[in-house]
Amino acid sequence: IDTLKKLKITAVDRTEDSLEGCLDCLLQALAQNNTEASEKVQGSGILQLLASLLTPQSSCTATVANIIAEVAKNEFMRIPCVDAGLISPLVQLLNSKDQEVLLQTGRALGNICYDSHEGRSAVDQAGGAQIVIDHLRSLCSITDPANEKLLTVFCGMLMNYSNENDSLQAQLINMGVIPTLVKLLGIHCHNAALTEMCLVAFGNLAELESSKEQFASTNIAEELVKLFKKQVEHDKREMIFEVLAPLAENDAIKLQLVEAGLVECLLEIVQQKVDSDKEDDVSELKTASDLMVLLLLGDESMQKLFEGGKGNVFQRVLSWIPSNNHQLQLAGALAIANFARNDGNCIHMVDNGIVEKLTDLLDRHVEDGNVTVQHAALSALRNLAIPVVNKAKMLSAGVTEAVLKFLKSEMPPVQFKLLGTLRMLIDAQAEAAEQLGKNTKLVARLVEWCEAKDHAGVMGESNRLLSALIRHSKSKDVIKTIVQSGGIKHLVTMATSEHVIMQNEALVALALIAALELGTAEKDLESAKLVQILHRLLADEKSAPEIKYNSMVLICALMGSEPLHKEVQDLAFLDVVSKLRSHENKSVAQQASLTEQRLAVES
């Protein structure tokens, strides 16, 4: 308190020696009890006075900046520092040539910006960020300890200035901070504090989409992999992982990371940690295998690692699937799903026995299984079933039996993938479609899921599979099973879907029902108001040409039923259909003429 009083008097006289004594005394007080001393400083009104002492000529300037840095460690002091007008003179001091002044000024500005909107705003208005970035550029190549300390403080200041603030991060990116930081990391990788500061800065900036392109144009991948290889401590690796994950979302960077040898590092971690149950090791195994899967999401990086199915990486990932570690089983199945993104890879994998590995994995997770593993294995099987040549092979390998074991699952993600896998498998496979379509347990479950309003994906896939069973089997028995299970009303509703592809699938299935089993389905079609829906689809100008075409085909097929025929007559279909004879689509126009003739004859 005495010092603060004395400081007020001395500051007016400006005698450097006594001023210095007061400032040193104040620093000592802050060192002993920062919070209490800061409260006294705030109460004394001395902050405005400090602003006047921040002059480039004074020998006390570095000490004043140091005092401001110390008091600004307290959250309650940051806004008072801004209000006292300290930001503008501090930013001016960033133009100083004195290293100690620069160091203390960087600390003061960094601490004032920490978690403080007002502090950041004031530094932004004073143009502080650009000066700091210019310093980083010009001092980047000097490796003496004092300079590295200054670089660390400046990086920290930029971090506090932009942390969790998208617009300030974007500003730094536009000022070109990314290439500068990457260069810093390359030159000063031996300095732990500076390296750490760069990594935290990368972690923040990498979250921003606009940063990815700038990162991709630097050699960040190479630098991070080089740094990663040197690390032995879990925490240090974890820090690098936190930067790698957001960066690896960018396809160009995925490829750079693969080329820089990251995958080999990840595989090594998996091998080292797989049998450990220490918390850090388990966490590192998860991070490494997750990152591996992420790298496979890029088309180029994935194909590079597949190496025609002969690659070391692909072989290692295969070995994860039969392991006893759930995390590795999950990563292995997800990796296969990612490799299975083009026909060539899918055909190669099915020919080389991948299906058995995945069905064995599913078998291990039927009772009280791990939902994420179930979901991943089903995703892989669904992708593998896309190429036409794989379907019969997978059916004879018993995939439907393995998948049907999960019919009782109450987990929507598992239900969704199960439905998608079955739908892919029966595409153009009449025998398999008939076999599944006569499976009353399956059809009953599909009808139940067609009402899963909380899970649009499951609902949509159930409808599509119901329709697919009819379209691919063209079987009377399948239609009877679906009628008995109450599935007709769902197919009629599906004809009104917002997705044209689903509308179309429903109309084709309904036309087959009308052609093969109209008598059996008549009542259900009537109570589902099919005729009214068809009238609406034909009258609606927004209906796609194929919808109009298939609706008319279906109308003709329904004429064999007396009650439905009567409904068609009552609704004046002739008016709607005759208008379609001049439709711009030839097929629609032709079908309109045929339908019109049919309606005229029948009436």
User: What does the pLDDT read at residue 57?
Assistant: 85
User: What does the pLDDT read at residue 119?
Assistant: 96
pLDDT band at 139 (very low <50, low <70, confident <90, very high): very high
Cβ(141)–Cβ(107) below 8 Å: no
Q: What is the DSSP letter of 585?
A: S
pLDDT, average across residues 292-303: 92
* pLDDT(11) > 60: no
Residues in the chain: 603
Q: Using CA atoms, how far apart are residues 25 and 102, in angstroms rounded to an integer?
A: 22
Q: Using CA atoms, how far apart are residues 191 and 186, in angstroms rounded to an integer?
A: 11
pLDDT, average across residues 380-396: 96
* pLDDT(168) > 80: yes
pLDDT, average across residues 536-561: 94
User: What does the pLDDT read at residue 170?
Assistant: 94
User: What does the pLDDT read at residue 16?
Assistant: 65
The better pLDDT of the pair 402, 231 is held by: 402
Express each pLDDT in 490-533 by its tens digit: 999 999 999 999 999 999 999 999 999 999 999 999 999 999 99
User: What does the pLDDT read at residue 403?
Assistant: 96
* pLDDT(17) > 90: no
Cβ(136)–Cβ(106) below 8 Å: no
Q: Using CA atoms, how far apart are residues 443 and 440, in angstroms rounded to an integer?
A: 5
- Tell me the average pLDDT of the chain: 93
* pLDDT(47) > 60: yes
pLDDT band at 210 (very low <50, low <70, confident <90, very high): confident
Quote the strand ranges of 152-307, DSSP E.
none
2-11, 18-27, 248-257 — most confident range: 248-257
User: What does the pLDDT read at residue 247?
Assistant: 93
Buried b (16+ CB within 10 A) or exposed e, 139-169: bbeeeeeebbbbbbbbbbbbbbbbbebeebb
User: What does the pLDDT read at residue 537?
Assistant: 95
Q: Using CA atoms, how far apart are residues 28 and 22, in angstroms rounded to an integer?
A: 10
User: What does the pLDDT read at residue 603?
Assistant: 61
* pLDDT(364) > 90: yes
* pLDDT(329) > 80: yes
* pLDDT(8) > 80: no
0.85 cut: is pTM over it? no
pLDDT, average across residues 458-462: 96
pLDDT band at 393 (very low <50, low <70, confident <90, very high): very high
pLDDT band at 10 (very low <50, low <70, confident <90, very high): low
User: What does the pLDDT read at residue 571?
Assistant: 87
User: What does the pLDDT read at residue 310?
Assistant: 87
Q: Using CA atoms, how far apart are residues 465 and 446, in angstroms rounded to an integer?
A: 8
- State what percent of residues in the chain have pLDDT above 70: 98
